[in-house]
RNA sequence: UCCCCAAUAGCUCAGUCGGUAGAGCGAGUGACUGUUAAUCACUAUGUCCCUGGUUCGAGCCCGGGUUGGGGAGCCA
């Protein structure tokens, strides 16, 4: 007999019917002549109630089936006579395919996220992490659908890179040289004949493809060797980076806004059950918050205007506010949470505090950069219009101490058929945090990599 | 990397004045029940993070370390 999924059984309307289902025991309530088993196969946040009557073969033995055991149940799916569920499965035969004894770490009670991180191999079997990883999967599909619907080309940019000037952070070295050579390595003898690292961004390669396919995006793993110990940083995370030719900063912001709101609509519509769970157990009012973002247009604020707001603020900041200084987390939070009260694009930053590839504005003081700030998470998108003028780009690289020879392939796109173009990077996990209410990035990644942690 | 806080039963925590450790939940056993993280009764469980010191005596005080959490920086 074909195995059924719990989520389909719970929606079934052809009752009664004989079926087979497999999953893991979440809880078991045993009495003398009847017992109830809550069964999950991960397809849904809801469990299927399996009814065991005293006449079931090996009834007393089966009543001792521990939480976490894997079982296959054959029986009759029927309407439930009791409250709490509309359908239930009257068991005729139960096979315990993998028993779990009382040392199973997940108990029939609430556990802290900190504890569950120490058993990351088992936590997907909990309600919260079931919801998190169903949401993650569905959201990843939504990302691809959004771009596919708009004609964007999906490009797989390299994970191993020889660019030492991507500028986004410290990099992990990739080498096959013996460890004892690591102190003073001769990279000409290394696997690639040069020093290589794991990518910190697919942007530069993405730009190359945008100069051929016009609208492209990447969606893949990204690595930063920063010793960051915060709830918002991981050494390995997934990033989405669209790039558009013949586009300026406002086109970029428009795409970012449409994209972000699309994802909000997606989870409210397609992940309603899990979102309801988050709303009830993780963050009260979550769905209402997401709904507001999905239906509202985002504020756009000049950096210069933000500085003016911050200088007029009645609260006192720990870090100084002055035109030309970068904004600190406390400043960004104040803008998005107090001044605007919603997602906010900050645009046109002083050129000194931004990357070399960002397009210089006509005022000669600012560059066409944008950050999307959202309440709770802070910076969730960083993007810019790119400098497409070869002479200006060369001058800026030299000013930043970057050797143009190492990026000839990048400069070639400005040499022949250059276009105004723009793009942004969005941290996939940060969107997940924003949409689920989960407050630690380690709790939205299956097996997170952070300083000192690469187990599992 | 910096600042702050914490570490005691499987989990979450309490532990008074420095005098050899407790609760709830979970687990086990039994009873009972169309039950909903069932209910009731009983039972068991400790490297008090490690290390050095002070003391007659340290879970508690002091030094060093480890791990975890929160915040900052870096950024997505």
* Number of helical H runs and strand E runs in chain A: 13, 17
User: In this structure, are A56 and A204 located in the same domain?
Assistant: no
pLDDT of residue A400: 84
Distance CA A343, CA A389 (A): 32
User: In this structure, are A160 and A72 located in the same domain?
Assistant: no
pLDDT at residue A13 tops 70: yes
Number of separate domains in chain A: 2
pLDDT of residue A364: 93
pLDDT of residue A183: 64
pLDDT at residue A167 tops 80: no
User: In this structure, are A169 and A70 located in the same domain?
Assistant: no
Asked if residue A418 lies in contact with residue A387, where contact means CB atoms within 8 angstroms, the answer is no
Maximum average pLDDT range among A205-209, A352-356, A371-375: A205-209
User: In this structure, are A231 and A293 located in the same domain?
Assistant: yes
A200 burial level (CB within 10 Å; 0-12, 13-18, 19+): buried
pLDDT at residue A166 tops 70: no
> Of the candidates A133, A58, A49, which has an alpha carbon nearest to the alpha carbon of residue A86?
A49
Q: Is residue A1 part of a domain?
A: no
- Residue A340 contacts strand B, CB under 7 A: no
User: In this structure, are A167 and A300 located in the same domain?
Assistant: yes
User: In this structure, are A130 and A28 located in the same domain?
Assistant: no
Residue A327 token pair: 């904004």
State mean pLDDT over A155-169: 80
User: In this structure, are A85 and A180 located in the same domain?
Assistant: no
Asked if residue A218 lies in contact with residue A202, where contact means CB atoms within 8 angstroms, the answer is yes
Residue A318 token pair: 């720990």
pLDDT of residue A83: 87
State mean pLDDT over A341-354: 93
Strands A70-79 and A48-53, bridge-based pairing: unpaired
Distance CA A79, CA A88 (A): 6
Which structural domain range is residue A329 located in?
A: 123-443
pLDDT at residue A192 tops 90: yes
- Residue A131 contacts strand B, CB under 7 A: no
Q: Which of residues 242-281 of A touch strand B (CB under 7 A)?
A: none
pLDDT of residue A235: 95
Question: Tokens 């990739």 map to which residue?
Answer: A174
- Give me the CATH number covering residue A225: 3.30.930.10
Asked if residue A375 lies in contact with residue A342, where contact means CB atoms within 8 angstroms, the answer is yes
Q: Is residue A111 part of a domain?
A: no
User: In this structure, are A25 and A133 located in the same domain?
Assistant: no
pLDDT of residue A177: 87
CA angle, corner A169, sides to A168 and A175, nearest 5? 115
- pTM for the full predicted model: 0.94
- Give me the CATH number covering residue A31: 2.40.50.140
Q: Is residue A105 part of a domain?
A: no
Q: Is residue A246 part of a domain?
A: yes
User: In this structure, are A211 and A166 located in the same domain?
Assistant: yes
The distance (Å) linking the CA of A305 with the C1' of B70 is 32
The distance (Å) linking the CA of A185 with the C1' of B51 is 38
pLDDT at residue A344 tops 80: yes
Query: What does the pLDDT look like over A94-139, one tens digit per residue?
Result: 999 999 998 999 998 889 999 999 999 999 999 999 999 999 999 9
User: In this structure, are A41 and A165 located in the same domain?
Assistant: no
A38, A65, A98: which is the final residue of a domain? Answer: A98
pLDDT of residue A119: 95
Q: Is residue A454 part of a domain?
A: no
pLDDT at residue A21 tops 90: yes
pLDDT at residue A181 tops 70: no
Q: Any idea which nucleotide's C1' is nearest the CA of A84?
A: B36
């Amino acid at each position: 007999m074909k195995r059924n999924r719990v989520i389909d059984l719970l929606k079934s309307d052809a009752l009664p019917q004989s079926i087979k289902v497999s999953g893991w025991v979440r809880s078991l309530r045993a009495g003398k002549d009847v017992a109830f088993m809550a069964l999950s196969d991960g397809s849904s946040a809801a469990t299927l109630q399996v009814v065991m009557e005293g006449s079931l073969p090996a009834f007393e033995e089966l009543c001792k089936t521990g939480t976490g055991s894997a079982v296959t149940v054959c029986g009759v799916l029927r309407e439930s006579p009791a409250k709490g569920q509309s359908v239930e499965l009257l068991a005729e035969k139960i096979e315990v395919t993998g028993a779990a004894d009382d040392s199973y770490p997940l108990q029939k009670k609430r556990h802290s996220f900190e504890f569950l991180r120490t058993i990351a191999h088992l936590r997907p079997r909990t309600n919260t992490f079931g919801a998190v990883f169903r949401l993650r999967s569905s959201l990843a599909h939504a990302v691809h659908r959004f771009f596919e619907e708009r004609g964007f080309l999906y490009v797989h940019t390299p994970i191993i890179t020889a660019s030492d000037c991507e500028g986004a952070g410290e990099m992990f070295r990739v080498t096959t040289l013996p460890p004892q050579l690591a102190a003073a390595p001769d990279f000409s003898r290394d696997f690639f004949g040069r020093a290589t690292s794991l990518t910190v961004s697919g942007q530069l390669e993405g730009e190359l493809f945008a100069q051929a396919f016009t609208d492209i995006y990447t969606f893949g793993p990204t690595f930063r060797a920063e010793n960051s110990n915060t709830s918002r940083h991981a050494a390995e995370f997934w990033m989405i980076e669209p790039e558009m030719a013949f586009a300026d900063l406002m086109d970029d912001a428009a795409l970012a806004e449409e994209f972000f709101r699309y994802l909000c609509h997606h989870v409210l519509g397609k992940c309603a059950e899990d979102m309801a769970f988050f709303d009830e157990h993780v963050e009260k009012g979550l769905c209402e918050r997401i709904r507001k973002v999905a239906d509202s247009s985002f504020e756009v604020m000049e950096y210069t205007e933000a500085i003016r707001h911050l200088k007029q603020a009645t609260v006192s900041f720990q870090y100084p506010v002055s035109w030309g200084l970068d904004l600190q987390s406390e400043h960004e939070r104040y803008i998005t949470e107090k001044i605007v009260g919603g997602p906010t694009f900050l645009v046109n930053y002083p050129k000194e505090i931004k990357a070399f590839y960002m397009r210089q504005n006509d005022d000669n003081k600012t560059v066409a950069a944008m950050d999307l700030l959202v309440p709770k998470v802070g910076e969730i998108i960083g993007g810019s219009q790119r400098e497409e003028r070869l002479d200006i780009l060369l001058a800026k690289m030299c000013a930043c101490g970057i050797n143009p020879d190492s990026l000839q392939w990048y400069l070639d796109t400005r040499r022949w058929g250059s276009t105004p173009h723009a793009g942004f990077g969005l941290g996939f996990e940060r969107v997940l945090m924003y949409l689920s209410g989960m407050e630690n990035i380690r709790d939205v990644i299956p097996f997170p990599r952070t300083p000192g942690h690469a187990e599992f």
